[in-house]
Structure 1
Amino acid sequence: MRTVDEHRARILGTAAPLPVETIPLDRARGRVLASDIRSRWPVPLFDNSGMDGYAVHGADATVGAELRVVADVPAGSSLDPALGPGQAARIMTGAPVPTDADAVIPLEHTDLGTEVRADAPDRITVTTAPRPGAHIRRAGEDAEAGSVTVAAGTVLGPWQLSSAASAGHDTVDVHRSPRVAVVSTGSELIAPSARPVRGQIPESNSVLLAAAVASAGAEVVAVHTVADDKAALVTVLDGLDVDVVVLSGGASVGAFDVVKAVLDRTGSIEFGPVSMQPGKPQGFGVGDDGALYFCLPGNPVSVAVSFEMFVRPALLALAGRSDVDRPRVTRRAAVGWRTPPGRTQVLPVVLDDTTVRPATSGGSGSHLVSSLAVAQALAIVPADVERVGEGASVEVMVLT
């Protein structure tokens, strides 16, 4: 029986980042940058005003000095008016600072204050003297030309995309997102809205897995539900063109475990127990088509736990992420609970700032679907812990 760490190491050893593609910024949110973004020019491009006010010679702008306004420089202007002694130019935030100016006086530091005017005034009186270089954003002070603006390996969010645009780029090189197929197996499965008869249950695993795959930033390209029929499963799998296939059900040692019957020893796919509860029956490997195959148990809690422990980290690694793990914290057990002998327990839990408790009173059974609706985290209890006592320290993987 493999340990959780051994099974995970085998998976991550095969999950190399996918090839690089160049895409527009508006499609790049959430993707992982494959190469450094370097600024094409200095940021800012030119000395510009950090305030609405007046560009001045600092030596002239003493308290009480009256300055003649000889120009008006709005944002976007290419004007560079000459400023003689005792002269100023009205200037707006972001506009280029005249070459002759060495400071900007904000509107509120003049006798006219922030009064809105369509045209520049003829004169202003200084009420607060500026310090040298006041309110001038110097060219290149944010980034020099050629400097790295966003480093490779960064997950691109709104702020990083803005930085890329400011650096003069409208496309970026990113790792391709994994393309994933979800296949739920079982002759007992019916549509959630159907009326079950004896032996039937609503199919929920494909809903869980498709949503989880999308939440991990991967692309769901196919979702199938297949009865316990070898030919039907082979037909579905032969029609896929994906990077990852996630199957649920049929991975154990039962007489009708169709996933194992079809895929065992195909490519490098192997089935075997992993010392965890829930989620003991697992299969994984690279298929003949080059895709990664995750063969998970069929019970919904087992599916959820297996996805978090094994599938999600692999999807993130394929996408180029280096940080593939959920954050973990330590909490004190609010109540005691039982653990499975000799197996790592991965238990849906709820937690607060100091304590953690099971999400339901039923323990860690793989059939306890109600625990998924309220769980905020997974408690990771080592295999050598015989029982979690009230007040014991517990490692917790935070999901929300």
Structure 2
Amino acid sequence: MKLEDALQEVHQIARRQLPDVERLALGRSHGRVLARPPPAQAEDALSPSLAAGMVLTPLRVGGLAAAGHATVEVIRRPTVAVFTVGDWGAPGTPGAAGAGSDHARDLLVGLLRADGYEPTSWPQLPADPRQVEIALRDAGCAFDTILVSGGEGALVQVGQVMAEFGKAHFSTVECGPGRFDAVGGVLDEAGLLGLPSDAVALAGLYLTLGRALLDGLQGRKGPRPTCRGLLAEAPASAGFQFARVECSPAGELRLRPVAGELVALPADANAVLVHPAVESGFQTGGAAEAILLPGA
């Protein structure tokens, strides 16, 4: 399934759940999604311009405070369960580096926390169908969302659990010429995404599909901001690519692809390039779109 079609399926998964509303003190509402605008007060020029689904940025929160508002109604942030499936060594143990390390869990949890979520991360699951089934079904009853990362065989097991006990919406995702094993669907009450353990594919699919699921559960309106610039060179990989967004001395936004290996992820990358859905693809000097990595 093409990435844009998978995004539509993710929006459909998110629409299954009605968002819960909670009232927060204004100082705790930064980054939250507005459930309904507060009633306008005297000389309040901001409240009439606010609408449900808007993110409460520092400027909006400051404006509400200046208008005399003390609380605001926001949509509850979805709870997130994180699993990684595979046989990896624990950090700090012999053989833990490289393909034997559970890098995916730390990367995924870090992306979620940088986006403002508080994920619950389980210890590594062995690639055993019965244990995967038990863990995912337990989480499906207790969490709003489940994010799983693993290799191809592990994602097949995740898909089998969804097919038997939930509803699977897709099992592969195509981004430009790249094709990824990634599953999406519903398990009990939770929206579920199974993502590959490869770092750049994991980051790219979280920033596109994972964010779309979590944003949809909060009723967030409008697209996430992206940046568009000229490629300093054509990326070597297809689908997604880590990159460094820089501003040239002439004031042009430049996107510099950054190569990375599993044992040496690119520490200077601050964005992920998303392969355009056109035949020309990435070309040196051509325009490309990038999604900034949270916390970069």
TM-score by length of 1: 0.63
1:9 is displaced (CA, Å) by: 1.2
Output the CA distance in 2 between the equivalents of 1:395 and 1:274.
19
CA contact (8 A) 2:26 2:70 kept: yes
* Corresponding position: 1:327 with 2:221: no
Query: Which residue identity is paired with 1:348?
Result: F
Q: What SS does the corresponding residue of 2:132 show, helix, strand or coil?
A: helix
* 2:31 is equivalent to residue 30 of structure 1: yes
CA positional deviation for 1:226 = 0.6
2:205 aligns with 306
1:234-383 to 2 correspondence within 5 Å?
234-240=133-139, 241-250=142-151, 252=152, 254=153, 257-276=156-175, 280-287=180-187, 289-331=188-230, 333-338=231-236, 340=238, 345-353=239-247, 354=252, 355-360=254-259, 368=262, 370-383=264-277
Distance 2:169 2:127 in 1: 19
- Whole-angstrom CA distance in 2 between matches of 1:306 and 1:149: 33
Deviations 1:329-362 (Å, cap 9, x if unpaired)? 131x32344565xxxx2221223234323202x7
| Structure-2 residue corresponding to 1:154 | 54
Paired residues of 1:285 and 1:294 also in contact (CA < 8 A)? yes
Secondary structure, aligned partner of 2:73: strand
Q: Please list the CA deviations of residues 122-181 of structure 1 after superposition, one character each: whole Å capped at 9, or x if unmatched.
A: xxxxxxxxxxxxxxxxxx4x559xx63744333224443344344444322111101000
Q: Is the 8 A contact 2:36 2:51 kept in 1?
A: yes
1:62-77 to 2 correspondences below 5 Å: none
Using the TM superposition, give the Cα deviation of residue 304 of structure 1 relative to its aligned residue in structure 2, in angstroms: 1.2
Distance 1:168 1:350, change over 3 A: closer
Q: Residue 236 of structure 1 aligns to a residue in which SS?
A: helix
Instruction: Please name the residue that 1:219 is paired with.
Output: 118
Matched, 1:9 2:8: yes
Q: Give the residue type in structure 2 aligned to 1:7.
A: A
How far does residue 183 in structure 1 lie from its aligned partner after superposition?
Answer: 0.4
For 2:83, give the aligned amino acid: V
Residues 304 and 200 (structure 1 numbering): CA distance in 2 closer, same or farther, change over 3 Å?
closer
Q: Percent identity?
A: 28
Letter in 1 for 2:138: G
- Aligned equivalents of 1:25, 1:328: Cα separation in 2: 30
CA deviation vs aligned residue, 1:35-89 (integer Å, no higher than 9, x gap): 111234x2xxxxxxxxxxxxxxxxxxxxxxxxxxxxxxxxxxxxxxxxxxxxxxx
Point out the structure with max Rg over C-alpha. 1
Question: C-alpha distance in 1, partners of 2:49/2:276?
Answer: 42
Separation in 2, partners of 1:156, 1:264: 38
Measure how far apart 1:18 and its partner are: 1.9
Are the counterparts in 1 of residues 274 and 291 from structure 2 also a CA contact under 8 Å? yes
Distance across 1 between alignment mates of 2:264 and 2:178? 15
DSSP 3-state at the match of 2:119: strand
Distance 1:369 1:179 in 2: 30
Output one character per residue of 1:226-249: Cα deviation in whole Å (capped at 9) or x when no partner.
Answer: 111122222322332110000001
Alignment partner of 1:171 is 2:65: no
Q: CA deviation at 1:27?
A: 2.7
CA offsets, 1:361-400, max 9 Å, x none? Answer: x7xxxx6563442222222333543564432333333334
5+ residue gaps, structure 1, are: 43-139
Cα pair 1:210 1:223 within 8 Å, conserved: no
- C-alpha contact 2:11 2:213 (8 A) present in aligned 1: yes
More helix by share: 2
Q: CA RMSD in A?
A: 3.0
| Counterpart contact for 2:144–2:191, Cα < 8 Å | yes
- Please report how far the alpha carbon of residue 256 of structure 1 lies from its aligned counterpart in structure 2 after TM superposition: 8.8
Matched to 1:275, the amino acid is E
The one-letter amino acid of 2:129's match is K
Q: Is the 8 A contact 2:37 2:50 kept in 1?
A: yes
Question: Partners in 1 of 2:235 and 2:45 — Cα distance?
Answer: 55
- Quote the residue 1:394 is aligned against: 288
Structure 2 alignment gaps of length 5 or more: none
Task: Give deviations 1:239-278, integer Å, cap 9, x for gaps.
Answer: 321100000014x3x4994323333353222442222365
Contact 2:234–2:257 at 8 Å: present in 1 too?
no
